[in-house]
């Protein structure tokens, strides 16, 4: 493995998986191998008796090498609620996530680890997504959904990442609202407010074309 990054968002449903998949396709276009990991996922469905998350399945399918689902998503919860509630009977243990991460790292040049919800979303009764990123000691890429309120959310999340003592490697603007007014002006405002590079602007697409979106991002790989 050459590098690994932790992907977080300014909130839930901001497009972390879209951004992660765009980065995975970009990395492959650069001739590198990549694996995507989603350690904690709520809102899963039964597939042949096993709980699996749709986003995690997309990451598994996009990987350069095929690995067992349980390695990518060790904590898959049925209910689409906060992980600390959904996983009350099987709470997230950071050491298990790290063990899985350590198993994956020799298999690819780059590993991308996608968080759950926002930076301070609880993953068990005592720890949050931020603790997971700290435990893995990874630089963080922040995904900002470009919609009303995004400037405040971006600045707060960036400050929280800095306060956690980890490095913010950059941020990605994900244009989730096709009717957003003054979209470019909002992105420019965030760009000036953060001391972290803008790694890409993902246009609104439905359905998403990841080969195209890969050309909208850049990462030093």
143 contacts 161 by C-beta, under 8 angstroms:
no
Q: How confident is the model at residue 221 (pLDDT cuts 50, 70, 90)?
A: confident
Our answer to whether residue 38 is catalytic in this structure is yes
Percent of the chain with pLDDT over 90: 97
Higher-pLDDT residue of 1, 194: 194
Percent of the chain with pLDDT over 70: 99
- What fold, for 3-214? Rossmann fold (3.40.50)
**Nearest CA to 186 among 139, 142, 150?**
150
Q: According to the model, what pLDDT value does residue 63 have?
A: 98
Q: According to the model, what pLDDT value does residue 1 have?
A: 52
Q: Residue 96 above 70 pLDDT? A: yes
Q: In the predicted model, what is the mean pLDDT of residues 105-124?
A: 97
Tell me the pLDDT of the chain averaged across its residues: 96
Q: According to the model, what pLDDT value does residue 2 have?
A: 67
User: Of residues 16, 28, 38, 52, which has the active-site annotation?
Assistant: 38
Strand 3-9 relative to strand 110-118, pairing:
parallel
For residue 199, give the 3-state DSSP assignment: strand
DSSP category for residue 1 = -
CB < 8 Å & 24+ apart, contacts of 58-63:
58/17, 58/21, 59/17, 59/20, 59/21, 59/24, 59/112, 59/114, 60/36, 62/21, 62/24, 62/25, 62/34, 62/36, 62/210, 63/24, 63/34, 63/35, 63/36, 63/108
Number of C-alpha atoms within 13 angstroms, CB side, residue 154?
28
Q: How confident is the model at residue 83 (pLDDT cuts 50, 70, 90)?
A: very high
Q: In the predicted model, what is the mean pLDDT of residues 156-178?
A: 97
For residue 128, give the 3-state DSSP assignment: strand
For residue 143, give the 3-state DSSP assignment: strand
* Residues pairing with 37 in the sheet: 113
Residue reference for tokens 């350690």: 39
């Amino acid at each position: 493995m050459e590098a690994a990054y932790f992907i977080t968002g300014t909130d839930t449903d901001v497009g972390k998986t879209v951004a992660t998949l765009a980065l995975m396709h970009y990395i492959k276009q650069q001739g590198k191998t990549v694996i995507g990991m989603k350690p904690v996922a709520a809102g899963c469905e039964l597939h042949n008796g096993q709980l699996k998350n749709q986003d995690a399945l997309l990451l598994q399918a996009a990987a350069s090498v095929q690995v067992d689902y349980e390695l990518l998503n060790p904590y898959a919860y049925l209910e689409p609620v906060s992980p600390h509630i959904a996983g009350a009977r099987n709470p997230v243990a950071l050491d298990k996530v790290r063990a899985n991460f350590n198993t994956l790292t020799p298999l690819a040049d780059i590993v991308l680890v996608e968080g759950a919800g926002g930076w301070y979303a609880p993953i068990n009764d005592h720890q949050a997504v931020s603790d997971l990123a700290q435990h893995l000691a990874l630089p963080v890429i922040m995904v900002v959904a470009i919609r009303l309120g995004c400037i405040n959310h971006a600045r707060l999340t960036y400050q929280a990442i800095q306060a956690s003592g980890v490095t913010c490697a950059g941020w990605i603007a994900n244009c989730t609202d096709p009717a957003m007014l003054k979209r470019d002006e909002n992105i420019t405002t965030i760009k000036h407010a953060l001391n972290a590079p803008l790694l890409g602007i993902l246009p609104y697409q439905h359905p998403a074309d990841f080969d195209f979106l890969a050309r909208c991002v850049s990462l030093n790989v």
